[in-house]
Structure 1
């Protein structure tokens, strides 16, 4: 049970020290979206992110209202795209970035992370293609 002092301290932090929750993040595995057809993979990726995160912003806002503490960013983190796109027969990973961007806009999140590659121990062809798509 919270004491009166603890409650007043929390109210003071919110009011005077601008306490907030910096970020809530939903992690989504996209490994099951891999497909030899890049267009199909992008469609699966978009559909899955939108389906899983469709209520993320709404839920974050409900939490803000319930506890009276603002949540600054609502974001999504996905499996590194080099792993998903690496299964596709394509040299162009830009459509994967576009699909992620569309999913972020549809769900209303502030940020979607995962257009990345795991290169700390070397690079696969998929990693190289992803890095080439960044510019």
Structure 2
């Protein structure tokens, strides 16, 4: 397929005059092999795996920007929901995992790292509860980590207990980051 000069001029105009950009590129990284009963070892495994797996993400994005002449605003990694691997350990405070993810994001030079999360539409397990309770502190003490709690699906319906926990999580995250315009709540979905 040949690109015509008119199409090139049209694309250039969109970039320069209409601020066309690619908002985000996201690389998915599975953490399923990183679970460990020792939280410190798990954090080390997570950091090492994410930094190794996504080591070329920023470089690839920059090459695409140069090749196509369209800016890519955010480079992001999304990992397996942390609650799925946190079941291996018994620690109540799981914020060290968020810190390991944040360090990995900083090392990689990416803008966001999502996945400090729980999928609780079908019920809340112990690891889910520990992740949800750790979210406000995790978001208050990291700069690039984002979090989510999936409280509903078409098939499972709405988990109202999880909705209540998510609402409290938003409030707590906002309070912990009140001096930063409550940015903690903005990093939670």
Name 1:85's counterpart in structure 2. Answer: 86
Indicate the residue corresponding to 2:98 in structure 1: 97
| Superposition deviation, residue 5 in structure 1 | 1.9
Normalization by structure 1: what TM-score? 0.96
* Larger RCO (alpha carbons 8 Å, 6+ apart): 1
Question: Could you list the per-position Cα deviations for residues 69-125 of structure 1 after superposition, in whole angstroms to 9, with x for gaps in the alignment?
Answer: 100000000000011111113222011111111111111100000000001111110
Following TM superposition, where does structure 1 have runs of at least 4 consecutive aligned residues deviating by more than 6 angstroms? none
Q: CA deviation at 1:4?
A: 2.3
User: Which residue of the partner structure matches residue 18 of structure 2?
Assistant: 17
1:103, 1:86 → 2: CA distance? 21
Structure 1 equivalent of residue 43 of structure 2: 42
How many pairs are equivalent?
A: 135
Distance (Å, rounded) in 2 between the aligned partners of 1:8 and 1:133? 50
1:3 Cα deviation from its structure 2 partner: 2.1
Structure 2 residue runs of 5 or longer lacking an equivalent are 137-189
SS at match of 2:28: strand
Superimposed CA distance per residue, residues 27-78 of structure 1 (whole angstroms, 9 cap, x where no aligned partner)? 0000110111111111100000000111211211111112111000000000
Q: Structure 2 length as normaliser, TM-score?
A: 0.69
Aligned to 2:27: 26
Give ranges in structure 1 of 5+ residues lacking alignment.
Answer: none
